Structure 1
């Protein structure tokens, strides 16, 4: 009996016995589990990046189609010998030609018209602050020659797609509140809001929302913000992202509700049917809901 016990002990504990083999198998299983977990995380990250890339491509394709449609409409409204007159200098030259048998009215792209309205608003604000400015073309120029530049812009596709892992992680930690989705005739609206006290906060929130695949492929991501800076100055602004007039309406809505230190992004997915002024009311509804969740 003692011999049998000794033999079993040797089988279990010698260098090539059963116990070391079991321990080796357990270590291999643990390493395999860790490798599998790493692969799953990388796979998840790749899927997210692919979804984001698909969303960006979808949005870019939609924007190109919209621009082509706008060019076609402009050509139809203002043509002479198949020439599109968007250059004011060309228009003046045509008007000076007495033999021209018809009047050529200026036809500008919607983006240019909206930009001029935006510059007029800014000029009015600076005038109230007793700062002299002039609108030259599509620019607002200060007395010293400096040109006004928006502090917050729509994130570029390359900025969204090439964001570093550290930045993605930081954006992921930003807390936002979300409204319920509203639908009308195939159009969908939703708002996300967060706290903001600097331009940097505003840019980060905007980039976070635009980096989410479902928002990245949306038709419009309208940004509005109001905050008081460290010097006690009220800062506000908006970015239409192509939904002309939306930012102006939403900012006025925030002012009326006396909301401060807030940034709100209203996302709209166009459903193929125009809503007219109703779309602004729907945007206000979701923005109000998100703001109320942020400031209960």
Structure 2
């Protein structure tokens, strides 16, 4: 049986309710007001947490892309300028911290570079996320491990040996692994949800979950039936909004349906032990014509 990771007020792992993360990421487009609305939407939907992304643009954007221009809501600006536009300051994150704590909602971030870890250490978040793109950044993984906080490792664009390398560095304690495919949106034939039981077999002492970027909700529900102990989906107010992740996100009412049906699936899975339920007794009395005798276990 997989271990359970404590993340403050909650636990993630086998036997625990599925931990549902609404990833805001950069869908706030640099607006604190929009971030608050997305937090409100996640609370309405019943999510357990929201997640942001934190980067130091000069470290995360390759230098040959700094001056590439693109059309944005702020006009035509360089890619480096755009990356700064969607980064929140300390005061903005402090506002987010207060806003979430007042509502009893967990919040955390994926840190894309070592300076981002130092920045986020100013806040007492319950865990960190390793984005798929940074799974092979061993220096960053070491920095995150040194914080002592639980770590959620996303595995898109990686092979098994790379995942194993990251696990060896991070160690199994306080570690969770999320199956993911890093295309936005991801076509169904590339979701490969059977990797969830594969990862559970490969890492039996680590909670396994799912980070999805598909269009629609059914694959995430399937991930839960396959044993995902946590799930993460991007949330948006409108999939037609400007932004690279909006099309692969779930609108608030869709997220509400996602959470509601995950809770139904949890209740429906049961324990795998066959029994006659009290609700069946009246039906059995009415419809069963022949009652069988319990087989004898006497030695022959």
Of structures 1 and 2, the one with the larger relative CO (CA 8 A, separation 6+) is 2
TM-score range, shorter chain: under 0.3
Q: What TM-score does the superposition give when structure 1 sets the normalisation length?
A: 0.25
Q: What TM-score does the superposition give when structure 2 sets the normalisation length?
A: 0.25
